[in-house]
Structure 1
Amino acid sequence: MTKVKKYLSNILVVAICVVAIPTAVFAKGAPDSFADLSDKLLPTVVNVYTKQNVRIDRNEGFPQFPPGSPFEEFFKRFEDRDNNNGDDEGKRPRTRQRMSLGSGFIISADGIIITNNHVIDKADEVSVRMHDGTEYDAEIIGKDSKVDVAVLKIKVDEPLPFVKFGDDSKSRVGDWILAIGNPYGLGGSVTAGIISARNRDINSGPYDNYLQTDASINRGNSGGPMFNMDGEVIGINTAIYSPSGGNIGIGFAVPSSQAKHVVDQIMEYGHTRRGWLGVSIQAVTKDIAESLGMDREYGALVSSVNKESPADKGGVESGDIIIEFDGQEVGEMRELPRIVANTKIGKTVKVVVLRKGDRKNLKITIAELDEEEKDVVPATADEDQPDIPSEKVIGLTLEDLTDKTREALDLDADFKGVLIAGVESYSPAFERGLRRGDVIVEVTQEEVSTVEEAISRIDELKKKGRKSVLLKVYRRGDYSHVPVKFDEDE
């Protein structure tokens, strides 16, 4: 029996080896070297230098003393001597030059260069230095602050080497990348790393969708390209996370799919044209999802709809949850602004919303966003409210709207809702930010105009076993949806 066990044990070891070998053979290892790829790409990356003329006060640097100080007259003599040269020259404001540096890359043989907007923003002069040391003055074709992309043009006599945008969506977390740029003005520097994460929101703008990398990126790398192993640009290195200001292995790049859309718009129109829907939205939290009977939290909750906007004309209503837009699922709120912005203006798209638990299919024709106006934005509210006496009801003190309270809150005469006249301290409603002076216009997607209607709706939801209610609240011109849990003793 012992020999049999030993024989079977040997078979098992062999079998494990046979299974393991193919896995090792097909595993994709690190490149032996990045040298060949670097040689090919370095000539396509440029250093970007800018100069900005800044006005300064001619009296800057002189100490300021209170009137009557014994030092005031003494320093005034030096000030007058510096400013009085026998003509008006001393009275003219002085300027000094502020210089900055960054990186960029060439995308066409005739000299189109891409960089970050923040690299050239407010610059009076922009110049680029090629890999071979040749310098050119650059013209700003267009820029976009929201995605942090700018397009430059230089005049050249000979065709330039250039690179193309790749598809960042095909790159996976863990894939190798190269970053080339001009850190600290040192010139073309190559660093390697991997894609650490995707779809990062760093609160830099409404369309954040950054690629994260551990490749070494420092000051001066801004505007430089992030390459995949095929030599395609899949990102524009834009920002780093660093308490010290130096590289700690957390860098961010604008994805190529987003950057290319902006570049194409700038090249065609001189500016970015974005789609406009015309809604204010907020995130669908776990509490909101539970209060609406949703099986999970996803989509974008519509707080308000702009009058005569595409959303208004297409039938979107306040309280709807947008879960699909033009065939794309809206997994979370912040995805919607980016999807809408990248939608072709004039295109009619299918939008799927959840309305009172039912799916509704809408068709909406997208208009152009006026960049001076807000589009799909999180709803906000001000906490300062009038002091209105009231009576307490189920943790919230509710009161019917009267002509007096409408006037005090600057509401239209026909505005319907229920006034929150008080909120119990440290209650779930208080913790959710509800304050007296707020006006409840809906309770879980049902309009209410009296305290009786509000209480009836809340009781109905409690009997259904809901753990919370979703209050649509009006405050100082803004609407927001606030989920409030029932007290345990209610």
Structure 2
Amino acid sequence: MKKIGITLLTAFIGGAVAIGGYKLIENQNAENMTLEERQNVYFTKNPQNISSAGDVDFVQAAAAVTPAVVHIKTTYDGSSSSRSMEDPFGGMFEEFFGTPRGGGRQRMPQSASGSGVIVTPDGYIVTNNHVVDKASKIEIILPDNRSYTAKVIGTDSNTDLALVKVEAKNLPVIKLGNSDNVRVGEWVLAVGYPLSLQTTVTAGIVSAKGRSIGILNENNQRNYPNREQQTSPVASSAIESFIQTDAAINPGNSGGALVNTEGELIGINTAIASQRGGYEGYGFAIPINLAKKIMDDFIKFGSVKRGFIGVTFRELDASVAKELGVNQISGLYVNEIMEGGGAEAAGLKKGDIITKVDGNKILSSSDLQEKVGRLRPGDKVQLSYLRDGSERSTSVTLKGESSVNIASNSNAANKIIAALGGNFASLTPAQKQKYRVNNGVVVTGVRQGGLLHENQITRGTIITHINGKAVNSLDDIQAAVLASNSNIMRIDGISTDGVRFWGTFEIAR
């Protein structure tokens, strides 16, 4: 009897310690925890009983995830003639998202809709950048018809991800999975709001991983027509390493959930390959492991902090290998080493062929891009490469954009900044709140004859992005100029009358 009493007392104390530990974690400042850490606390307290990955009965998984997939409705301000209403993606989304095609410059719709996924009980919601980009109002509607107005925490066109937040508590949450463990052939569910329908669940299998379809680079090329196609994480920051699925995805699914049969979020549905704008058998989702890092950056910094290896490269295949006179038909051929970059410091040279990243074989550029895209400046990545027929290995410390300077472009960048003909100051917190932005500089002066003056960008104008990159200071402007090899500069901002705009003009280098 005494032994039973001791056993019960021990169990009681152990349970109390565990509960106390979780309460201590819960009471810590949640903003100092990563999304994955916060989810670990949440799902430890709220365990779910989901069917195994081998079970083709999707009922439990669907029931677990659908409460946390939301309908996003957006509205847009501006007159029909303002540049703020022009579609910055041209006609490309007719093919991938079913948006009607028009001539040259299009007007953005007065309203649109998509999907999103709740990732924390206090209201953080992940979706696609193209779902909320330039929206004046973002309405979040839950499956139980609760409605909230969301604010943008961060957006990133290079991954087509966005994070928004609503002021709420105890919201249903989807558990974040591990997209590295996803296997070709496994069953998956796509959950969202296609074609303005209510919550819809479709099933399919993973058809491929690490798929690049050129949609983000095509977007950059449409916006910056003289930019070279992606060969470098310096010249273009677009990251495409999609999970391909044959689960039915249609317009409106964008930003919705791709989940495994355990009810875990493994991807954010983003694009479809279609000739008619509807489902034709191929859907693409952003891997959740990449999205985790982007979301954490949004919460901690308000923008994405990217690390760069500091090389330009060319993806090898049989024909490229023959053209270059090399025997290797897979991997990345190094075209150029960036001055001041991590690759230079690690001893990489032009003509090296990068074959592995952190021990994993590189079959395409997306294999390297996604891995690096999940890291920040100062992080290290292990690269294996071929030189003179022998394999070598080196550790590369990633550098930030401002650290990767191409000497030949440095003077040109300074000349371009001078040619802008303006003075700039960082936005104050009050200005950010007023204009509902997370970043930007205000034009404090305009010199006659400069590019700003010639393009009627006046004193008091807010500039939020240059060449697709968020700017908060003169250093950010310089970094944005340095990161582009194009002769076309794009400026996104807000005019003095509060109208969002974007404009492009040619520059001399």
Q: Shorter-normalised TM-score: what interval?
A: 0.5 to 0.7
1:261-316, Cα deviation, whole Å (9 max, x unpaired): 21122222211111111111112232554688866412211111121222222222
Q: 2:76: which partner in 1?
A: 52
Instruction: Indicate which of 157, 160, 164 corresponds to 1:145.
Output: 157
1:331 Cα deviation from its structure 2 partner = 2.8
Of 139, 143, 148, 1:127 maps to: 139
1:225 and 2:249 matched: no
Paired residue secondary structure (2:213): coil
Map 1:22-171 onto structure 2 (within 5 A).
31-32=56-57, 34-57=58-81, 98-156=110-168, 158-171=169-182
In 2, the alpha carbon distance for the partners of 1:155 and 1:371 equals 38
Pairing partner for 2:301 from 269, 277, 293: 269
- 8 Å contact kept, 1:284–1:298: yes
Distance of 2:403 and 2:74 partners within structure 1: 26
- Which residue identity lines up with residue 341 of structure 2 in the other structure? S
Amino acid at match of 1:31: V
Please say if 1:328 is aligned against 2:352.
Answer: no
- How far residue 30 of structure 1 moved from its aligned partner, in angstroms, is 6.2
Please give the alpha-carbon distance, in whole angstroms, between the structure 2 residues aligned to 1:242 and 1:123: 26
**Residues 80-479 of structure 1 aligned to structure 2 (within 5 Å):** 98-156=110-168, 158-205=169-216, 206-286=238-318, 289=321, 296-369=328-401
Distance 1:163 1:243 in 2: 32
- Aligned CA distance change for structure 1 residues 304 and 176 (closer, same or farther; 3 Å): same
Give the distance between the partners of 2:396 and 2:294, measured in 1 at CA: 23
Give the whole-Å Cα distance in 2 for the aligned partners of 1:276 and 1:112: 28
Structure (1/2) with the larger helix percentage: 2
Give structure 1 stretches of 5+ with no counterpart.
1-27, 59-94, 375-476, 479-490
Q: 1:280 to 1:132 in 2, by over 3 A?
A: same
Residue 361 of structure 2 aligns to which amino acid in structure 1? E
1:50 partner SS: strand
Aligned AA for 2:76?
Q
Against the structure 1 CA distance between its residues 348 and 236, is the aligned structure 2 distance closer, same or farther, given a 3 Å change threshold?
Answer: closer
Higher relative contact order (CA 8 A, sep 6+): 2
Cα distance in 1, alignment partners of residues 282 and 381 from structure 2: 37
Distance 2:66 2:366 in 1: 36
1:55 and 1:96 in contact (8 A); partners too: no
Distance in 1 (CA, whole Å) between partners of 2:330 and 2:265 is: 32
Q: Between 325-334 and 186-195, report the one with greater CA deviation.
A: 325-334
Percent of paired sites with the same residue: 36
What CA distance in whole angstroms lies between the structure 1 residues aligned with 2:118 and 2:365? 35
Distance, in Å, in 1 between the alignment partners of 2:405 and 2:162 is 21
TM-score by length of 2: 0.56
* Maintained 8 Å contact 1:293/1:357: no
Aligned partners of 1:251, 1:181: CA distance in 2, in Å?
Answer: 13
Task: Say which SS state the counterpart of residue 46 (structure 1) adopts.
Answer: strand
Take 2:317 and 2:59, find their aligned partners in 1: how far apart are those partners? 48
Pair 1:237–1:372, CA change in 2 (3 A): farther
Distance 1:186 1:250 in 2: 20
Q: Distance in 1 between matches of 2:404 and 2:133?
A: 18
1:102 alignment partner, SS class: strand
Structure 2 counterpart of 1:272, which letter? V
Counterpart amino acid of 1:43? P
What is the CA distance between 1:372 and its match in structure 2?
A: 11
Q: Is the 8 A contact 1:54 1:97 kept in 2?
A: no
Q: Structure 1 residues 141, 322: closer, same or farther in 2, change over 3 A?
A: same
Structure 1 pair 370–181 and aligned structure 2 pair: CA distance change class (3 A): farther
Q: Deviations over 1:194-247 (max 9, x none)?
A: 212222111123321111112121111100001111111011111111111111
CA distance in 1 between counterparts of 2:109 and 2:158 reads: 26
Cα distance in 2, alignment partners of residues 233 and 191 from structure 1: 14
Structure-2 separation of matches of 1:192 and 1:330:
30
Query: Does structure 2 retain, via aligned residues, the 8 Å contact 1:46–1:104?
Result: yes
Q: 1:46 to 1:350 in 2, by over 3 A?
A: closer
Q: Secondary structure at the match of 2:177?
A: coil
- Aligned Cα root-mean-square deviation (Å): 2.9
CA distance in 2, matches of 1:372, 1:226: 36
Does the residue aligned with 2:64 lie in a helix, a strand or coil? helix
SS in 2 for 1:244: coil
The number of residues matched between the two structures is 311
> What TM-score, normalized by structure 1, do the two folds share?
0.58
**Distance across 1 between alignment mates of 2:211 and 2:382:** 27
Tell me how far apart the structure 2 counterparts of residues 184 and 215 of structure 1 sit (CA, whole Å).
Answer: 15
Greater C-alpha Rg: 1
Q: Do the aligned partners of 2:340 and 2:403 also contact (CA within 8 Å) in 1?
A: no
Aligned residue for 2:343, secondary structure, equals helix
Cα distance in 2 for residues equivalent to 1:52 and 1:116: 17
Partners in 2 of 1:371 and 1:49 — Cα distance?
Answer: 40
Deviation for aligned residue 1:330: 2.5
Q: State the alpha-carbon separation in 1 of the partners of residues 393 and 184 from structure 2.
A: 35
